[in-house]
């Protein structure tokens, strides 16, 4: 049992190091590992942390304090959900920020657009435009925030010079005549 526990601990620490290194590279150099690989690594980190929590329960050690995060986070989310309101949303957002996958809004061969998890109380949605590199990596080429929930199609994107143009139809409300009308909009993002 001790042999498996030490192997699982090494695996868990390697995953944690990989995820932290990916986070640092993503924030500093704007290059990260493909989001699907990162999501699988996050799930494996959580499951291995949960297993290690129960394996370190008998002889209580200092490591149990770290691994208790993995066992107590579902309880924490449930209590936050029961609390409801702003305080509950803040608590749930903090826990889910670590494990929420990025929402893929466009997955083309040359470009990917993701909507990042910004919490339940976010006023705007944060979108990242990435370009695949070397099959496993993605380079962030641009990002923008928009107050609406957007979905993209390949025909709506055009590259002109160093700009990405995104065409979309937005609903606008006319307060004078009390009805919605469609408004053709173009976002220009400098790459």
pLDDT of residue 91: 72
Burial environment of residue 130 by CB neighbours within 10 A (0 to 12, 13 to 18, 19 or more)? buried
Q: Give the tens place of pLDDT for each residue, 4-26.
A: 888 999 999 999 999 999 989 98
Residue among 8, 99, 93, 3 nearest 53 (CA): 8
- Mean pLDDT for the chain overall: 80
Is 144's pLDDT higher than 90? no
pTM of the model: 0.71
Question: 125 vs 45, which has greater pLDDT?
Answer: 45
Domain-wise residue ranges, the chain: 2-99, 103-190
Length of the chain: 191
Q: Average pLDDT, stretch 92-115?
A: 74
Give the pLDDT band of residue 109 (cuts 50, 70, 90).
low
Which position has the higher pLDDT, 90 or 29? 29
Query: pLDDT of 37-52, one tens digit each?
Result: 988 999 999 999 999 8
Our measurement of the distance from residue 56's CA atom to the centroid of its chain's CA atoms, rounded to an integer in Å, reads 30
Average pLDDT over residues 21-36: 88
The pLDDT of residue 1 is 64
**CA angle (106 as vertex; 105, 109 as ends), nearest 5:** 155
């Amino acid at each position: 049992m001790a042999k498996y526990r030490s192997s699982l601990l090494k695996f868990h620490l390697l995953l944690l190091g990989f995820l932290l290194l990916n986070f640092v590279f993503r924030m500093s150099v704007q290059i990260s590992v493909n989001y699907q690989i990162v999501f699988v690594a996050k799930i494996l980190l959580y499951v291995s942390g949960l297993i290690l929590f129960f394996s370190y329960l008998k002889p209580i050690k200092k490591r149990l304090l770290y691994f208790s995060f993995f066992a107590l986070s579902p309880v924490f989310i449930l209590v936050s959900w029961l609390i409801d309101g702003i305080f509950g949303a803040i608590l749930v957002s903090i826990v889910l920020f670590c494990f929420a996958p990025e929402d893929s809004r466009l997955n083309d061969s040359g470009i990917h657009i993701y909507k990042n998890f910004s919490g339940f109380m976010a006023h705007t949605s944060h979108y990242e435009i990435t370009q695949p590199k070397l099959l496993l990596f993605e380079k962030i080429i641009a990002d923008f925030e928009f107050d609406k929930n957007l979905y993209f199609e390949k025909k709506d994107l055009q590259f002109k010079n160093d700009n990405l143009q995104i065409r979309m139809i937005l609903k606008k409300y006319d307060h004078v005549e009390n009805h919605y009308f469609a408004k053709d909009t173009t976002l220009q993002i400098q790459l």
